[in-house]
Chain A
Amino acid sequence: AQSVTQPDIHITVSEGASLELRCNYSYGATPYLFWYVQSPGQGLQLLLKYFSGDTLVQGIKGFEAEFKRSQSSFNLRKPSVHWSDAAEYFCAVALRGSTLGRLYFGRGTQLTVWP
């Protein structure tokens, strides 16, 4: 079945520690790939996206993500987490040939940051 999987529902890290949030997708053709973040009381905000080309993409707030075709993965990373990064993170895909705003989301990963 077609799906976006975020295997970690909740992750806790200490401030300053590195972070990796996992995302796997299952679609016939490689979709367009996105990471969104939702801070408390806010709407979802686009962190970064991958369409083609360089498999390591840089985003806002110091985040980056790496596309690995062989693993059908698009993991999000940050070298040093700040307390303000505490939020819920969503991996999403859009199908090639479809409307880019028609997204399929994973269930989200809640990030807690310890001081």
Chain B
Amino acid sequence: EAGVTQFPSHSVIEKGQTVTLRCDPISGHDNLYWYRRVMGKEIKFLLHFVKESKQDESGMPNNRFLAERTGGTYSTLKVQPAELEDSGVYFCASSQGRTNEKLFFGSGTQLSVL
């Protein structure tokens, strides 16, 4: 069974550009989460999808970030325009069911904004 897949694994862009990160969760997992780790700091929650609906987006930093989950399958996280402080590792995770506590994480996308 395939795990959670994230693409790209690395992205280097200039300030002001747009970047789109993609996450393919494990098939059948209704819950999809985005997390971010800024260098030297803790991993922080960004948002949570249940199928195609945003359940909780309280962790999104500002309106430069837009997350979507098409048809309840894969998800994209777009940063537009990117700022220097957006640099970090973006993790995606998925889980099955409402009360399933086991998250399966992707290996992350390392985003560097220069």
Contacts and interface: CB of A to CB of B under 8 A. Distances in A.
Interface residues of B, number: 27
Given A43-B91, A90-B43, A103 B107 contact: no
**Chain A CB within 10 Å — which of B42, B55, B93 has the most?**
B42
B108 to A, nearest CB: 7
Contact of B101 (A32, A41, A42, A107): A32
A109 B31 CA distance: 27
Interface string A74-108: 00000000000000001010100001111111111
Given A42-B107, A101-B100, A105-B44, 9 more contacts: A4-B42, A36-B105, A43-B107, A44-B93, A44-B105, A99-B56, A102-B33, A103-B45, A105-B42
Interface of B: 3-4, 31, 33, 35, 40-45, 48, 55-56, 91, 93, 95, 99-108
